[in-house]
Amino acid sequence: MKQLTAAALAALWAAGLGWGIFQHRLPPLVLVLALALNVATFVAYWLDKRAARARQWRIQEKTMHLLALAGGWPAARLAQQVLRHKTVKPGFQAMYWLTVWAHLAALVAYVFWDRIKSLLNS
């Protein structure tokens, strides 16, 4: 169920980015930056998983959450599933989902701000 939810949210996120670009609320460069951020996020999870197995220095959880909040949450979810990393820590998962919803809310608010503003002023 969570995989389906994450996939559906990722599709809506991509549509929101596309709509923002189409409406000239976001520059096309956002797509390149989003791709780069998601690659970096996946790599961070991979490095953390590798470090955990080797009992070496780990990437701080707050760093991983910041990557997700900035827009790397689709890759974070993919990495969690593919690498089987951070999937059983309830606290981490709760914060992860909070970052997903916060990012999506910020994106929707920014892309649709003109419409939201007119509703607030009526």
> For residue 29, what are its two tokens?
């460069």
Cα–Cα distance, 15 to 96 (Å, whole number): 21
Q: How far is CA 8 from CA 13, 17, 35, 102, 118, in A?
A: 9, 14, 18, 16, 28
Q: What is the pLDDT of residue 112?
A: 87
CA angle 21, 43, 53 (to 5 degrees): 155
- Cβ(20)–Cβ(110) under 8 Å? yes
Mean per-residue pLDDT of the chain: 92
Task: Categorize the per-residue pLDDT at 121 as very low, low, confident or very high, splitting at 50, 70 and 90.
Answer: confident
Give the containing element (helix H, strand E) for 16: helix 2-22
For residue 7, the model assigns a pLDDT of: 86
110 contacts 25 by C-beta, under 8 angstroms: yes
Query: What pLDDT digit, counting tens, does each position of 3-55 carry?
Result: 668 889 999 999 999 999 999 999 999 999 999 999 999 999 999 999 999 99
Among 60, 61, 78, CA closest to 13: 78
Give me the mean pLDDT over the 50-74 stretch. 96
Domain spans in the chain, listed from the N-terminal domain onward: 2-121
pLDDT value at position 114?
A: 80
What pLDDT sits at residue 52? 92
pLDDT at 100: 95
